[in-house]
Amino acid sequence: MLYSGARPAEIAQLAISDVRQDHGHWIMDITETSDDDDDESVKSVKTEGSRRVVPVHKELVKLGFLDYHAEMKKAGQSRLFPLAERNSRGQMIADYSREFGRYLTRIGLKKGRGVSLYSFRHGAFDALRRAGYMDEQFNFIFGHVSGNKVTRGYGVLAQGMIEHRVELINAIAYPDLKLDHLQDESRNAQVAEG
């Protein structure tokens, strides 16, 4: 979420086949359709405009996201996060999302409302604004439809060709965020396995 701006459920429901290369770039295909017939794989998006292609951020590659994807594929998983569950109302990871907020309260990072799992998504919006982009330039990458109904209906190409999408996603940066320890853990795990 921090490096894609995707909603929690959109990430949690990704299928292995949703992460793939497109014109030489790794992407996440966020969609409500599934390649699998089993009921657990039924996916949904918030709105029609929420269906979209989001490039995999270069920082996620460094952190081992593609290695994790390859491991899940090799293990025969159909879903990228096979432990992600729907609640009794069919909402993907809603229980986890609620518990995440409670966890933040328990460790003293949250008092009352405000900080939540969605804060990662909001951070991606702010990162693109810090990078100098206007909301109208990147809303489509987050699944927000912009433009009026007339202009949205013209043409057949989706907004933002893949190179433009890659540029936008890779502009998401958090200058004070230190993730080196995660990269070291990923490398150490690979060395131990290899």
Tell me the per-residue pLDDT of 151-192, one tens digit each, with 9 for 90 and over: 444 544 444 588 999 999 999 999 998 888 887 655 555 545
CA dihedral 164, 167, 170, 176 (to 10 degrees): -130
Tell me the per-residue pLDDT of 69-128, one tens digit each, with 9 for 90 and over: 999 999 999 999 999 999 888 889 989 999 998 999 899 888 877 788 989 999 999 999
What pTM did the predictor assign?
A: 0.78
Rounded CA separation 83/76 (Å): 14
Q: Structure tokens of 76? A: 């025969």
Rounded CA separation 52/54 (Å): 6
In the chain, % of residues over pLDDT 70: 77
Tell me the per-residue pLDDT of 117-146, one tens digit each, with 9 for 90 and over: 989 999 999 999 999 999 999 998 898 876
Helices (H), 51-179: 58-62, 65-74, 94-106, 119-130, 135-138, 149-152, 162-170
Q: Which residues pair with 19 in a beta bridge?
A: 28
| pLDDT value for 184 | 62
Handedness of CA 180, 173, 46, 68 (dihedral sign): negative
- 10 pLDDT more than 70: yes
* Of residues 48, 40, 122, the one with CA closest to residue 81: 40
Pick the residue with more confidence: 147 or 25? 25
